[in-house]
Chain A
Amino acid sequence: MTLVHQRRQFLRDLGLSAAALPFLASLPSLSFGRTSKAERRQRLIVFFSPNGTLPDEFWPKAYGDELPLQFSQMLSVLQPFADRSLVLKGVHNQIMGDGDNHMRGMSCLLTATELSPGNIQGGGETPAGWASGPSIDQQIRSFWQSREETKTRFGSLEFGVAVPNRADPWTRMCYAGANRPVAPVDDPKLMFNKLYGGAQQRQLVGSVLDLVRDDLRRAERLISQEDRRLLDEHLQSVRQLELDIAAAHAQSELVHPEPEIDPTIELVNDNAPLISRMQIDLLVNALANDMARVASLQYMRSVGEARMRWLGVEEGHHSLSHEPDNNEAAYEKLKRINSWFAGELAYLAGRLAATPEPDGNGSMLDHTQIVWVNELGKGNSHTLSDIPFLLIGGGAGFKTNRALDLGGVPHNRLWLALAQAMGDKELQTFGSARYCESGPLTLS
């Protein structure tokens, strides 16, 4: 089966066609009647790709307020969103302490605080444990969940693509608090169950009830008159369940698209492109249904060795990222890899842009802040400086269509600016307080 074919299959299994999805998601009735609220809805999506970028290919040629943003060739797929993008150079992850740069790069990226001392040995340096504070997405989630106007069913949803089944500082970037990592769900089936499990189960049960009724009629012939009472009760219960299923279906028909059949995608490396699109579709749909206003999408993990054969790359990503800049073959492959990530980001941004905001005011992208992050600035130097931060969308209300070189500021200040822009005006420090002395970055 081709990828395209499999993707259609998945959507069909969900009971959705590709064309219907944005349409369904954008119906005003999908949003639990929240549209009347006066407050402007805001959302946050953290988009993670690992192992550093290629600085020369990532950073634009020109910086400043007045120049329109021009993406380099590696990121050209994002050019349609340039007017809604903000590139931030010179923002460093300055968190020190235990753990190697991959560990701190990953687990201090969104937490901006030190790792607890621990027992996990990285490549050199001292062993370390989990981050010692919450991540920015979870910080904003808690703030929104604490207020009735911004509270949602899940608060946040953590998606993953090809994240290995283990929990350690290289695989976790989201933290609910000190030493409390939040696991991304990298199985679309599990995520689908989490979002729509009730409806899916109703569908499955509903599909056998007619058969069960026939069984009951056959059984009735076998038993005595006195024993019919129990089977009658049984038939009534079946009927009741059918009515319940029909009622639940009617109630949720527009809100949650119902699946037809269970998808059976295998969670293997080669399926990553397919899984990525499934996850993005589920993510956009969940946000459109206002099940959550914070989401993250984590590709692989720090030090991830994904073999992106679908790009013609046979080597593991992390090993490639160690190659010196003058290894042209490796360089070209890393360019392809980062282009692919940019393409997935463009797909996400495009889906949001194509979905009208439920209040009729612009598109979902106008109300959503996507932040593309990476645990390293550059793969072969393991630097935590110049993390490639790329922001798309209007969620935070930052001024877009520009690239800024901030010259070397702690990334704590970026997260502080984001939290305040998302409404948490009281927050004065985030993560390690000593990096917050100059206050939030000014990005509006």
Chain B
Amino acid sequence: MFFAGSCLAMGSGLWLPMVQARPGIPSDDGAQVYQQKCASCHGELGQGVAGVYDPAIFGERSIPELARLIERTMPEGEPEACVGDEAAAVARYIHREFYSPAARIRQGLDQPLKVELSRLTVPQYRNAVADLIAYFTPPPEEVRKAPGGRRRQRDRENPATDPTPTDELGLRGEYFASAGMSKANQLINSRVDQRLEFDFGNSVPFEGLPQDQFAIVWEGSLTARDTGEYHLRVTTPNGARVYVNLDPSSGLHKLRDDSAAAGQFPLIDAWVGSGTEREESARIFLLGGRRYPFRIEFFKYQEPTASLRVEWKPPHGVWAVLEGEHLTTANSSRTFVVETGFPADDRSLGFERGASVSPDWYSAITNGAVAAAEEVVNRLPLLSGVQPLSKEQAEDPAAQAARVQQLQDFVVRVATVAFRRPLTAEEVELLRTKPFADPTQSEAAVRQAIVWILCSPSFIYSDLSPTTAPDSNAVANRLALTLWDSVPDSILVAAAQTGDLTSTANVEQQAWRMLQDSRTRHKLQGFFRHWLMIEQRDLTKDTTLFPGFDEAIIADWRRSLELFIDHVVWSESSDYRQLLTSEEVWLNARLRTHWGITSDPNTETDSRFVAISPDANRRAGVLTHPYMLSALAYHNNTSPIHRGVFLSRNVIGRALRSPPVAIAFENDEFPADLTMRQKVSHLTQDASCLSCHTIINPLGFALENFDAVGRWRETEGGHLIDSRSDYETENGDVVPVSSPRDVAELALQSPAAQRVFVAQLFQHMTKQVPAAYGPEVLAQLVDSFQADQYHIQRLMVRIAVLAATHSGEVQIQEPEANQ
């Protein structure tokens, strides 16, 4: 939590007894009131008084929040003794003198935090290596159209039938008549195919194709949403090959029995039949938020029937026919993916950051560097533009020397992009000389240089000068890391070189541009998984109680939640409040059937989701999304505690201590006729539990009308559900709460709720705590978030700009003049 260390004082809301306030003192001076009514328990500077009230008081509350709290609760046992202007004056006084983070630094109670030196996190490393190589990869259009060696030749009868350049969902299919060994003998027709499941029977897909022999080539891109293992599977009685993340720059022109796509290795090779339907599968590790070149070759030859099914199982998904949104006719370039396993990043502060270096991690870094160097050397002509020497040239020392020089230039350019800054003269000299000792071994030199670059601290550390004012290159670097977890693209590099990043307005403009990139969306999904506490949850349920709640349904709900979030965040209003209050739930055909709602085959398939508003007025955004409700539940029942803890910590923004005693919930130990609410109330009745469970339980109980798989229910085991409780806010107000919408309303009224959201987003983006950029930064961001109508995209831009332009100097505001 961002207010770690302060939770005793501000989190629990427990302020212990104060001495009686003396009446009759004027109440317009906060200092005076504090001396009279507060200091005897809390000490002169809020440091506490031994034996009376030990904990120091400090925290993140704003002055109005503090005033409200004092008015409702202080002095202990006699809250009416300090209200109105007097409470406000005390609040202003303590906030300024010792309560706020800035005050504590001014008083020397806290050291100001600084941005810490960090290495790249594992996702940052993977993305940075991929994008470093991508930086030197020509775009697919250029590869296909450029003259000379990079041209992609294709056997085309009629170039006019080339697919249109407009991108669509699906793949471009080209249908060929075959002639014996020559599979792509004559192009008969082409179309975009949206779903990779075909059963042509003993017939043909197009008039004009011979019934006994034809071939189809599909091309386009595969979209990977998540990072992880993707399984692919082909089922056919005919012949097929599947290529994923191929290099479209290599020749793919031939489609004959006796020749393969030169230089390309299919992920799945099911070319040779065996008289029966076959199923072949393979797996590939992909980075999320990216598109990969995708190609399928298929042919029928004299078999009685023709059919093909291409399925995949993405991370968190189930086997499904590839279709629609996962496929695009757009071309893309090969992306190099480091598959090496890494030890997990440090999460001791609640978010992943590059705060530690271990031999295991370093060993993984070097493995990744070796693999990346292999990729660069294998594709050297394409990436460097430097062609291999002919036999004659190889004998000519001058030609050899010229080539070495070109390759030296290339590795210097690679290092410049990898280090996100111009190299020093010393670095250039070292790179040009150390690896290139033997002019006959230039490929080996490039290999060594790439390994060196990728093992160098200038690549591995996010920012080697985190506490100095950034130049344009550093701004570009920080923007790319904050928004993409990666290195700057060519546009950013160009902007840095022309000095465009010296004005905040230009930095902001770049941030808005970068926000539209799918890598930003991918990164933001990671934040939501963290904020919603849905990482590594087991959602499997007792299927006798919840029939049909299988892996496919779970995967669909996950997708539904992601779609809902994307829909809110990337809409024009990008409104955080929508996340908590929207009545929409996104359903596909399978989820509709699962919920017993008739589906419309025209609008919904298993891959196409449509929003509906079920259970009128009862749903409240992510709080009631079935994935959330199922994740925060037992396998056979709801769990008000899991739900309540999530709502307290991440939605309402209240700090909770760890339980003083670990008590396992054993459903079987309770009489069967008790409701879940009764069981939980019984379990948490001890005073030691109640200090937190008075917060947790009312919030959890408010969701009891939704069962363990997120369906609406009126009763539980014959008892009417009682979801109503009185909830005491942080400020001491008591509010009746009986539904998820009430909880959402609490969050919308609570600055603490917005603080936790802003702080977690900040940490996810920058891998640093907000206070590292200044004690007031969080409060200022929350203020602007409110002023921006809770616009999430604007908040992201503000965070990115703040981190990118941070001078390293922590600004401590002078206290406002006392009024």
Contact = CB atoms under 8 A, between A and B. Distances in A.
A215 B447 contact: no
Nearest to B256: A166
A165 B260 contact: yes
A261 B441 CA distance: 8
Contact of A211 (B302, B444, B452, B465): B452
23 contacts: A117-B274, A118-B274, A119-B238, A119-B301, A120-B257, A127-B302, A165-B263, A167-B272, A170-B258, A204-B373, A211-B430, A211-B434, A215-B458, A222-B464, A223-B464, A224-B117, A233-B358, A234-B362, A236-B359, A237-B357, A237-B359, A237-B363, A241-B362
Nearest to A181: B272
Contacts of B373: 204
A261 B355 CA distance: 35
A170 B259 CA distance: 11
Nearest to A219: B457
Interface of A: 1, 9, 116-121, 127, 129-130, 132, 164-170, 179, 201, 204-205, 207-209, 211-212, 215-216, 219, 222-224, 226-227, 230-231, 233-234, 236-238, 240-241, 244, 261-262, 264, 266, 303
B457 A119 contact: no
A240 B259 contact: no
Contacts of B71: none
A227 to B, nearest CB: 4
B366 interface: yes
Contacts of A230: 117-119, 355-357
A378 B668 CA distance: 80
Contacts of A164: 259-260
Given A208-B451, A234-B457, A116 B274 contact: yes
Interface in B294-340: 299-303
B269 interface: yes
Contacts of B367: 201
A28 B399 CA distance: 47
B305 to A, nearest CB: 12
Contact of A226 (B114, B452, B465): B114
Given A201-B370, A219-B461, A227 B116 contact: yes
Contact of A240 (B180, B260, B362, B438): B362
B181 interface: yes
Contacts of B301: 119-121, 127
Contact of B273 (A129, A170, A209): A129
Contacts of B456: 211-212, 215
Given A211-B452, A215-B456, A241-B366, A169 B355 contact: no
Majority SS at the chain A contact face: mixed
B448 interface: yes
Interface residues of B, number: 65
A208 B602 CA distance: 60
Nearest to B358: A237
B356 A233 contact: yes
Nearest to B116: A227
Given A165-B263, A227-B116, A237-B361, A121 B257 contact: yes
A119 B302 contact: yes
A212 B455 contact: yes
Given A117-B275, A119-B238, A204-B370, 20 more contacts: A117-B274, A118-B272, A118-B275, A119-B272, A120-B273, A121-B180, A127-B301, A129-B274, A164-B259, A165-B263, A167-B271, A205-B455, A208-B455, A209-B455, A215-B457, A223-B464, A223-B465, A230-B119, A230-B357, A231-B457
Contacts of B465: 222-223
Contacts of B300: 119
A119 B299 contact: yes
Contact of A262 (B119, B260, B443): B443
B265 interface: yes
B273 A118 contact: yes
Interface string B273-306: 1110010000000000000000000011111000
B116 A261 contact: no
Nearest to A107: B272
B725 interface: no
A165 B271 CA distance: 13
A119 B239 contact: yes
A9 B443 CA distance: 14
B394 interface: yes
B272 A120 contact: yes
B262 interface: yes
A105 to B, nearest CB: 16
B464 A168 contact: no
B467 interface: yes
Contacts of A237: 357-359, 361-363
